[in-house]
Amino acid sequence: MARKFEKISFSQFQKDICNDQKKYDTYSIPVRKTKYSAGYDFEVIEPFSLKPGEIKVVPTGIKVCMEPDEMLCLIIRSSMGFQHNVRMCNQIGIVDADFYNNEKNEGHMYYAIQNEGKEVLHFRAGDAICQGVFMKYYVTDDDTANPTVRKGGFGSTTKERFK
């Protein structure tokens, strides 16, 4: 299996974001901005504003394919925290390999941010707010893998617990 980012399908884009083929065709796959950057910058697809104290769930339009023993960590870019006091609501988002192409949302990744500053922030299409860092993870020697196959999107592995 190749490690790569992909755009969600246009039909998923229509459900989750908007029915604009041009916007779909022009937004970018995450890239590393320098030779030694660890993170792949995710760019904003549609402009939005974020008031002080406000939380916004931001669609990426992206899904990620990776090896079974890897995860993608979604992390706020340092400039967002230092310069604008923006944080991710879950601090770090963990995307598991089996989130890719799940039947509920194709593995479309989102992130939630909160403006903890004192001024309204205005984000334009193409602005980078968060970044993704691939990490390998390990399991214990006596781990017994659960044969459950992911079917849902966010938090689908614990949905029953919180009903």
pLDDT, tens only, 115-156: 999 999 999 999 999 999 999 999 999 998 787 777 665 555
CB atoms within 10 A of CB 118: 8
Backbone angles phi, psi at 80, to 5 degrees: -65, -40
pTM: 0.89
With 0-12 / 13-18 / 19 or more C-beta atoms within 10 angstroms meaning exposed / middle / buried, residue 72 is: buried
Q: Which CATH number fits domain 4-138: 3.30.450.20, 3.20.20.60, 3.40.640.10, 2.70.40.10?
A: 2.70.40.10
Backbone angles phi, psi at 79, to 5 degrees: -60, -30
Q: What pLDDT is stored for residue 13 in this prediction?
A: 98
Q: What pLDDT is stored for residue 161 in this prediction?
A: 41
The residue-averaged pLDDT of 35-53 equals 97
Q: Where are the alpha helices (DSSP H) in 40-109?
A: 78-84
Rounded CA-CA distance 90/126 in Å is 23
The residue-averaged pLDDT of 37-55 equals 97
pLDDT tens-digit readout, 13-29: 999 999 999 999 999 99
Backbone angles phi, psi at 143, to 5 degrees: -65, 135
What are the residue boundaries of the structural domains of the chain, listed by start? 4-138
Q: What percent of the chain has pLDDT over 70?
A: 91
Q: Which residue has the tokens 């790569």?
A: 4
Q: Which residue has the tokens 């990620």?
A: 64
3-state secondary structure at position 75: strand
